[in-house]
Amino acid sequence: MKDPFENIPLRARSAVLGSMIAVFLIVLLSMLYPTTMGTIGVIAFFLIIVIGFHELGHFVFAKRAGMKVTEFFIGFGPRVWSVTKGETEYGIKALPLGGYCKIIGMTNLEETDPEDEERTFRSKGFFAKTSTLLAGPATHFILAGIMMWAVIGFRGDIARATSTTTLRGVATGSPAANAGLRTGDRIIAFDQQRITSYTQLSGLIRSRPNQRVAIVVDRGTTQRLTLSAKLLEVAQAEGKPIGRLGIESAIKYERPGPLRALALVPPRLWESTTQTLSGFGHVFSPSGFRNYLSNFTRDTAKPAATKTAADLRAEQSRFVSLVGVGNLAHDAVASGWVAVFGLLIGINLSVGLLNLLPLIPFDGGHIAVAAYEAVMSRVHRRRYRADFAKIMPVAVATLSLFAFIFLSSLYLDIAHPAVSPF
């Protein structure tokens, strides 16, 4: 990969002074606006640390395979600082938007010094190529696993959380709030039925849209209160209306501890990965893409009670831009470190899987080409090298599609921000 901003001039002294001022401002703003700066910190972590680790994975395995890596930089644009050790220049660039490592001879279209041909990416065997390419996406799953271990070990096994009948929150203006329900209330009866679990309570609420019901609560005293609430009628993706009360239940977590959490991470990570992959399959399906396009024509300002099944399907088919990630990060920071880690786990799994798509220019596309070359080399009994000039139309089509997704999701996240789950 080449840096498109390489030739922009920048004086080193100005860069150092600017960096010092930036650090001072970051510290000051963190004290004055902790949530906002926390949001910026989450985005910076993704753009610098997460993507930096991705490129570091490529770098380490390329070096191990004997490939020549001429540059390893954090950021893009003009150089702020760099040092050359051996054949590789390491450094920092002015625009903190990720990073890159430059491996020579990635394709047959790149000209290299004949003396370096044996050290090009294209000259290496299938295992060397694929291990170098897989090392980048693998870092996202490793980071997601580390964060998942922290959440399970120090907060609890959220994937196996149990909702209780005690209220953790009541939505403002909801039927629950209008009926007089409060945080801390424990619901013991609903519509003349004794409540023994949140699953039972949720099912009863969903089955009574637009109905008035009696709710008996224990407010921590010997006296029980009977309240009356008229449930809302809301749509769901399948089209059947359901009832809504507007309550948030207290969650009970199993707390396995840091050591036992190590054994729980692999199955939980696998579950989250398959769920993310299933979500990708839905969004990139013809029906998912139609639902996504409908976000541009539907009325996004509708109240929840008036949303149709089509509205909900459209909301579930949204792509998220960097602006949308910023909105989610802001709400996650306000909710606490568990929500922040949950967001970063989702981002890492999504980016890791996206990079494994078998399309050029993603890592998965280069892996597909390497596999094709390996098969054809066995068929022809000589080294076969794919002609990237013939593959370029696929790369252009892929980049065009993702450019559309980037620009359209950016518009939606600015004009019609998605509902935050935090």
Q: What is the DSSP letter of 231?
A: P
Helices (H) and strands (E) in the chain, counts: 13, 10
Block means of pLDDT (10 residues each) for the chain, 422 residues, are 55 60 65 68 82 93 94 88 91 83 91 91 94 96 95 86 87 90 91 90 91 90 84 74 88 85 93 92 85 78 61 74 84 86 93 93 93 91 88 91 90 80 66
User: Whole-prediction pTM value?
Assistant: 0.78
> For residues 183 and 170, is the Cβ–Cβ distance under 8 A?
yes
Write down the domain spans for the chain.
162-252
- What pLDDT is attached to residue 14? 62
pLDDT at position 422, please? 66
Ramachandran category for residue 352: left, alpha or beta (phi over 0 → left; psi -120 to 50 → alpha): alpha
Dihedral of CA 243/248/250/251: which sign?
positive
Q: How far apart are CA 104 and CA 391, in angstroms?
A: 19
Task: Enter the tokens of residue 235.
Answer: 């749509």
Considering only CA atoms, which of 29, 43, 100, 31 is closest in space to residue 343? 43
Coil, strand or helix at 253: coil
pLDDT of residue 320: 84
Per-residue pLDDT, 5: 53
What local confidence, expressed as pLDDT, does residue 54 receive? 94
Q: If one looks up domain 162-252 in CATH, what number appears?
A: 2.30.42.10
Q: Say what the pLDDT of residue 330 is.
A: 82
Rounded distance between C-alpha atoms, residue 114 and residue 409, angstroms: 45
